[in-house]
Structure 1
Amino acid sequence: MTDFFHDYKSRLTYAAREADATWLEWARRHVPLQGAKVVDIGCGGGIYTKAMLALGAAEATGVDFSAAMLDGASQNAAGDSRARFVQGDAYATGLTDGCAEVVLERALIHHLSDLPAAFREAYRLLAPGGMLVVQDRTPEDCLLPGSKTHLRGYFFEAFPRLASIETGRRPTADSVVTALRGAGFADIRTEPLWETRAVHAGATELERDLLARTGRSILHELSDEELARLTAFIVSTYGRDKAPIVEQDRWTVWTARKPR
């Protein structure tokens, strides 16, 4: 799966949508972005780097280990001089101490083998009083049943081995809190967040999205034939009408402060 993120053919996969209004409203209420310097670690295509700027951040630095993803992010944020993108990883971003008031790690930590080390790096980047925002899926989030809004649940019901892969790489809520405390963070808060991933114009558009594995790294664990079977099953739950399909994902969000 790692090769996928370095493939230049995939560079726009994580740059092809905007941050959902639900996420924007959550961030507006909980994250002090106005006038802040922010760092987006594991920025992918820069979707949330751009979103934080739209919510009032003064400048944003996106960090990713993949040159291909950074190329897509740069295209995504082209024309906004407040955004910059640098190659680095969650353990060694290459940025200076205390350079940010907010650090975001969204959909990142399930790719990491050493959470304490990643959180220590985030702690180093934050100025005193700064906030770390971590967003990911726990095993419990992943294994919620499939439904007409929660399509991801169908992946694991149809292919149980995907559930084993997914839950094996997803940290528990408690393990994240423990790692945050160990890195020195305080005022740690945990909450669920339902986020609209996409609104598809109809079943045909959803079918194209699934078959392209758009923004769905777990689907790279399936062969093309298996993916076609999964897609046919999901599309069959809707029929071929043209009604919009609202696809949601359930996440867990942790916020934590670097003490002053």
Structure 2
Amino acid sequence: MLEAKFYDTYYFCNVVKSVLYHSESYLGVLNDFYGDGRIYYRLSTFNKYSILHEFIEFIIHDVYYDQSSEAALEKKQKIQENYQDIPIALSLLRPSTLPIELALKHHNMPHQSFEDFLDKQSKKFIECNIDDIYEFIHKLRETGVFHELVEHISKEVFHVLFQNRDLMKNFNTLMANALEYESKQERPSEIKKIFSRTGVLKRAAIPQWARRAVFFRDRGRCVLCNKDLSGQINLENKENYDHIVPLAKHGLNDISNIQLLCKECNQHEKRAGEAVTSDNYQSWYTY
């Protein structure tokens, strides 16, 4: 069971979506996730904490550090300076409170405040610099609370985004392109066993938990033709669990890359061709 607090969850969903749908504008950032051979160390075989979870984590890290930039700090210090004689305004604006602190407080995760951190160094917020913020975040990482926060938010964001199969296709196409590009270089010896050939992963059995998650997400229907695969209407209709981006096209063995198809659509419409999914979803009620 996921206890979702939905603090900035949809904000991070939009950031992830923007990066995936406009990846050409984020090549430098994305290279830090999968470039220079990093994609090889992201590969796994149906881990519950999927590659998409890792990608979401990566984006959240980047956002929190971006929110702690020098420009952001200067803006907050200007507010502190302008309202230092109006305590009520300062208590409402809270310029000395960092965005990550607000998230930690919302999730009821005990942590040292940035003001307390500065106080122990005999510094005031108005005179601190960006290095102080990075040192504070480093302290949060050392205590483990930073990782706890980012992991929890990642699970919430995944919970929302997993329902969007087109986004799943977009993410897995991006990863497949990275894997294909990196396959021109020598693979690390320790992961060669998971490949059937250069850049193509071996087919792996899809675990029951992944099948169950995909079946319920797709409401027990073929995502291409909407055929009922629950067995309640026709026992002859067999569910097939399909890689959205085929393994032959450098697709991943990851839950984000799996969808529910009927036997006919899987064998005749999909086969091992291009990445295909559908924007059709069964509504909670009829209109």
TM-score (norm 1): 0.24
Identify, as 1 or 2, the structure richer in strand: 1
- Rg larger in 1 or in 2? 2
Identify, as 1 or 2, the structure richer in helix: 2
TM-score (norm 2): 0.23
